[in-house]
Each structure stands twice: as structure tokens, then as C-alpha cells.
Amino acid sequence: MDYKNTNAADTTITYDREAIEAPTNNIYEAISILARRADQINGDLKKELIDKLDEFATHTESLDEVFENKEQIEVSKFYEKLPKPTAIALEEWFENRIYFRNPNETKK
């Protein structure tokens, strides 16, 4: 998924509790779903960042050859400016892009 083109807020916003719990009718279940999705997003972003930084890595064993790689710094700054995974998960939640199911309810 492309998290770079998200419209998620990168500032603190107060959300309406009823809007968050509306799809599940349970605030705790909604927060649990959002937390799991934020963990998934965080894992995806971390893997993507590590893959990009590995492209610039030099594999030398000498500690004397420490230098700054400007490309690595730019990539890191770009990922630091992205919205937090929780903000992205909330945006997906409000746009109904998160699939969830309760196994207890599907058995009934």
C-alpha cells in the first residue's frame, strides 16, 4: 500500500468517540482493530525504510571509515515526515478501508 500519498493528519486532532466506535458499536473493539492496523502499517514502513537504506549501505569492517551518506539522511528525513501509523489507520477506518470481522459473531 502506498502510505506516501495519504491525507492523514500529521498534527494532533480530537476525534469523535462515537464516529470511531460506529462500525463496531464497541469503542474497545474499534481501538483494538485500529491498533492492529497501525502495527501492520508500522511494520510495512519499517521494512520499506530498511530496504531503501540498505541500498546505500557500505559493508566495510573498518571503524575509521565512518562518513555521512546524504542520500541516507534524505530518505530518513522523508520517512520521519510521514504521518504516524495511528493517523494513517484512523484515516483508513473513517474511509471504511479496513476489513475486520469478529469470529464470535460469525459463529452465531
pLDDT of the residue at 105: 80
Q: Which domain holds residue 77?
A: 17-57+66-99
The reply to whether 71 falls in a domain is: yes
Count other Cβ atoms within 10 Å, centred on residue 8.
19
Helix (H) or strand (E) holding 56, with range, is helix 27-56
The reply to whether 108 falls in a domain is: no
Overall domain count for the chain: 1
Residue 43 pLDDT exceeds 80 = yes
Taking phi over 0 as left and psi of -120 to 50 as alpha, with beta for the rest, 25 belongs to: left
Give the span between the Cα atoms of 15 and 97, in whole angstroms: 18
Give the span between the Cα atoms of 101 and 56, in whole angstroms: 41
pTM: 0.82
The reply to whether 2 falls in a domain is: no
pLDDT of the residue at 104: 82
The identity of residue 91, as a single letter, is E
Residue 66 pLDDT exceeds 60 = no
Residue 11 pLDDT exceeds 60 = yes
Residue 64 binned pLDDT confidence (cut-offs 50, 70, 90) = very low
The reply to whether 38 falls in a domain is: yes
The reply to whether 10 falls in a domain is: no
- Is pLDDT larger for residue 63 or for residue 9? 9
